[in-house]
Structure 1
């Protein structure tokens, strides 16, 4: 399936997103995802991209896409945003409202003067709200602009009838028409500003992608020339010069020089990291000190930072289960409110002996005060802030559903090597029946084919150019390496499971030749400095801690005792780990924290998989959440953000439902004028946005 991703402007609420979603699905497209807050739209299997783009534009939205087939860009229209519309309609509305004050401005009492003054506001309102309402009705997805349009047309039409028939001032509601339109423009403007603030964190990440690079090229005389170029024009293999204080323009590998780099944009860690020849630099990080020449290894959409932003935006666009009820209600909200407004007029006029004018005003107030946007924005506003803050701290959520899972977690399972420990091993002792040189060469030749942290440590310490070439070699996950040389000898290195006759696991590694034990190796691995405080925090949250490792029982017990871990499973293969996680999941919602390599099956099976990962491996992990600073320090923050973001979603949905449940009857009983109703509607969304933005500063690790 070929996926198309666009940026669409003009969406103001969930009904807008629903209109686009319904249109795309009617066109037979798959994997449709529309985010009203970010404007991101994605779909798969489109045969006619141009037709789809025109269809979205006919709905009243603007497609912004640099890569797809372009349509001649439209000129910027007069009054093209809500701020400009509000500022245009405000003075006219203020003039109309003056006749309600005791200023004895008799000329304002003339119905035709009021009609002429109101007309520009009505025209602007209908051009915006009316056009949007008509298009939404045409495509079978009525949006909230239908409610505003019906209310404005009703009050303006009623007033025109009163003016034509000269029925008197009690039939004139031109100021109501103008105030509804003006205040909704004002509310939309404030809502846009508030909602945009929920994207602050992701926008700051995006901004770091656009920098100037010092590109290195060579002239005809092979003299080095340096010239500035925008980093979006860089490609793999280009050479760049990165100076002290500059941002790294793309993912690179250092060819010359050394430097100190601040990678806080990726990991949330502000402590500079020393980089030297052959080390990688992550695009978006900052060279704090030093000067390097580097070759571009990934540019544009292929960089680590671009992948992070893409994954965050994907997670923000996803709808967790809690939002589905709100979406179902939003889909039928507008028709229901239209019916309720009509019922309000009928009951007030025929049963409660209310005048036609007052009954109409109450019906209009019902239309104007209702707010389907609040229900649709409750979840995405909170998710945008929560996931954005997480990304800035080096915590990457791969899906929004993980936020809901966090609140259920009752136990956390840890791998040992590389998770609770640093994974930086050193050989402390070894013993062999053969000479040192032969033994080290044999072990190095086997372990260099493994990615296990122990294997990497040994190959780094015992590296040699004189190694054995194998006829066949394979890695048995959780056990060790097995190889056959050209003479048919079988060599093995691994845990005590590598040879059934080894009864205990006193040592880390055993070396076997033709099923005969010829040596053993012990290594030391330091416990992460933050591990004890993280385990203690989990205990304070009444969360059970479990150690699940392929390492020996003795070594696992030592680590568990030092850190105070509740339960230990040692000497387990990846398949055994998977079975244990399955069993733990059945007992209670379980999170697993691992390095994302040998633990991939267990991470995928856990209720919540959390990986400690090198930033360059972000896109290939099996986990739901990735801690990109390669440590446990941010685990409490990840758990806290998940719980508090979910709590904010529930608060937002509660407010959205209560607002509409309470506001509609109040308007129906005539306790609010349409003007006040319009003001209340505008501020209802702002309340949600402000409550969501609080997540930026809220302490979540209590």
Structure 2
């Protein structure tokens, strides 16, 4: 019994939003502190999404105590929506909280100004000037020293430890003014870093505000406004023109055009009829709709997107893993280098102790790894958020980086490069005396009784051309397995089937001209059928899976982006596959493939190119998607399987989003590399200034803060990448 209770406690997962994270190191420290709470079995911080998942049941007070070193504010996930609703009314309170939070910084700045005023008045530093700067250091640096000194006692060397030692050291050697400036610049740097990450997270927070918090619901013949948390599956929502849809559901009454850009990234509104699916957060533009709710608020497509995007931000990209590992050894190494700079020149080369201790302190400041630590998260969070706003769901930083390195892309044909819906493309009568409409009515009457997959295409064509067939009585209908169908109408027996069927029947007018017509249609990748009697061929009909209008353009853009190989994978026969492949413009065509053949081919091409992506529907192509470096599923909106199995999901059924995804991932990869290279290079350059003795605390803190601002601004450029 006790064991069951323990297991139950372990399974209890609570999610909290965190306000106040200034850096990734602080997030890691908070996670470590939370894990030490007795009622917590495990905890995991998601710095990108600014939240923590806690396995256990600690109080909010205990969690905030664990984050007291950073004055973190903890808010339970279930209160986040309520907080968002009140955000407008709380704006004044937020400004007040901002001033209150930074009053120490403002006070410190005031004392620094008084200190410099004292210098100007007195002409040199005296006891009053030193006291003014010392006061600025104590007031502005108190939160920093509180953490830094505690870290020092635990031999926990992070950026706050480095800054604490550097500022205290500066004060001890009488550099009060520079120590005070370092304090205030470091505080400003942290505030800007926090602001930058919040800016990067805004793309996700904007998704949270897309869906309305209330909906007009029909209950017991009355229409009432109901909060989304109180709406249940089966409720009927009334959505007026110009209103946003609050919940996922099925249209039960009405007709309209719905703007789905927030979910699928589609720029053009989509027509919605009875039985069509609609999503929470989309905009009803034209008519009145009545929608039957199919999902609870926490299960809606927009909720799943937000959850998956936030989880994606927690998945560390390879570059982030490198930075974390590098920073783990880098910070202690800087401490050692700073110590050596301070003591070796005076001991071995008769240098001035004051001068070289000062240089050592400057090394500590310039060695602060702020820019390096922030370089990757800000880029990953920004890129994933931008992708989500454009209808592309990236499941993690690792997939974002891998897509940028892709050299080959394999496409499933049906439903990806083609629409996946067969249509009648050709209908040619052989006998001039036959009425085409009457004959098509006969074909449709026969196909109506058939289970053949292509029958729906023929019936749809009859509906479009307003050809009636329901009044035709069919007798002696039967299916000719693997060959076609037959049935008697008005005393005449008609056959609809493959050319081979009519070869076997040895129909008299199956001449060379008819044979050439059939071959021509087959060479175009079309499934060709013949209708006739045992005495004469009456017409040839061709059905094909239509190529998406965008497919050729997408393949061209991918080639322009430098994708070396584009491969179409299909189960179709070679002639059909070649015809469609040539039309689309792929570099390679693989036909007559079973699902296991697709899997083996993806493995084979991956061994050749290293990184390969597979684009499919997320269901039939699951093995091949899993075997690829990056699996991309089409039409993720409303498709749970695609959302769960793919590494990247194109939310709308829009292949045109793929080149944008590749461009964005490459841009992100380049920016991450730029940021890491620049962060390390600026540190090395500043450290070289130690050799001639040119490195000062001013240069050190400006180099550190400047690098942080530059890599952050560089990462935020990913918000400006557009789908063009």
Which TM-score band (shorter chain)?
0.7 to 0.9
Return the offset for 1:593. Answer: 1.3
Return the offset for 1:602. Answer: 1.0
Q: Which residue in 2 is equivalent to 1:321?
A: 318
Correspondence 1:96-135 to 2 at 5 A: 96-100=115-119, 103-105=120-122, 109-111=125-127, 113-135=128-150
Correspondence 1:594-605 to 2 at 5 A: 594-605=616-627
Q: Which residue in 1 is equivalent to 2:513?
A: none
* Offset from partner CA, 1:249-268 (integer Å, 9 cap, x none): 22232232222111111122
Answer yes or no: is 1:154 the counterpart of 2:169.
yes
Correspondence 1:7-46 to 2 at 5 A: 7-23=17-33, 33-42=44-53, 45-46=55-56
Q: What secondary structure is seen at the aligned counterpart in 1 of 2:568? A: strand
* Offset from partner CA, 1:121-165 (integer Å, 9 cap, x none): 233334310222245456664321112222222233x2xxxxxxx
Q: Which residue in 2 is equivalent to 1:225?
A: 223
Q: Which residue in 2 is equivalent to 1:213?
A: 214
> TM-score w.r.t. structure 2 length?
0.76
Correspondence 1:221-620 to 2 at 5 A: 222-227=220-225, 229-426=226-423, 440-443=448-451, 523-540=543-560, 541-588=562-609, 589-617=611-639, 620=642
Query: 1 CA distance for matches of 2:255 and 2:97?
Result: 54
Query: 1 CA distance for matches of 2:455 and 2:153?
Result: 65
Correspondence 1:665-680 to 2 at 5 A: 665-666=688-689, 670-680=693-703
Q: Is the alpha carbon distance of 1:83 and 1:687 closer, same or farther for their aligned partners in structure 2, counting shifts above 3 Å?
A: farther
Alignment gaps of 5+ in structure 1: 159-170, 448-453, 466-478, 480-493, 511-519
The structure number with the bigger radius of gyration is: 2
Return the offset for 1:11. Answer: 2.4
Return the offset for 1:645. Answer: 1.0
Q: Which residue in 2 is equivalent to 1:86?
A: 105
Query: 1 CA distance for matches of 2:49 and 2:287?
Result: 37
Q: Is the alpha carbon distance of 1:81 and 1:196 closer, same or farther for their aligned partners in structure 2, counting shifts above 3 Å?
A: farther
Q: Is the alpha carbon distance of 1:63 and 1:91 closer, same or farther for their aligned partners in structure 2, counting shifts above 3 Å?
A: closer
Q: Is the alpha carbon distance of 1:65 and 1:620 closer, same or farther for their aligned partners in structure 2, counting shifts above 3 Å?
A: farther
Question: 2:682–2:703: 8 Å Cα contact kept in structure 1?
Answer: no
Query: 1 CA distance for matches of 2:239 and 2:631?
Result: 37
Return the offset for 1:548. Answer: 0.7
Q: Which residue in 2 is equivalent to 1:662?
A: 685
Q: Which residue in 1 is equivalent to 2:652?
A: 629
| Greater shift in the superposed pair: 360-369 or 556-565 | 360-369
* Offset from partner CA, 1:569-603 (integer Å, 9 cap, x none): 11211122112222222222322111222111111
1:173 to 172, 175, 180: 175
Q: Is the alpha carbon distance of 1:84 and 1:531 closer, same or farther for their aligned partners in structure 2, counting shifts above 3 Å?
A: farther
Q: Which residue in 1 is equivalent to 2:432?
A: none
Q: What secondary structure is seen at the aligned counterpart in 1 of 2:689? A: helix
Query: 1 CA distance for matches of 2:289 and 2:722?
Result: 39
Return the offset for 1:390. Answer: 1.2
Query: 2 CA distance for matches of 1:235 and 1:260?
Result: 25
Return the offset for 1:242. Answer: 2.0
Return the offset for 1:271. Answer: 0.8
Q: Which residue in 1 is equivalent to 2:8?
A: none
Alignment gaps of 5+ in structure 2: 1-10, 84-92, 428-438, 464-468, 471-481, 483-496, 505-518, 530-539
Question: 2:323–2:372: 8 Å Cα contact kept in structure 1?
Answer: yes
Q: What secondary structure is seen at the aligned counterpart in 2 of 1:545? A: strand
* Offset from partner CA, 1:195-240 (integer Å, 9 cap, x none): 322223223222214x34233254xxx552333x554554433433
2:66 to 51, 56, 59: 56
* Aligned pairs, number: 625
Question: 1:594–1:612: 8 Å Cα contact kept in structure 2?
Answer: yes
Query: 2 CA distance for matches of 1:374 and 1:179?
Result: 19
Query: 2 CA distance for matches of 1:456 and 1:316?
Result: 44
* Offset from partner CA, 1:382-416 (integer Å, 9 cap, x none): 11121111111111111221223224322221111
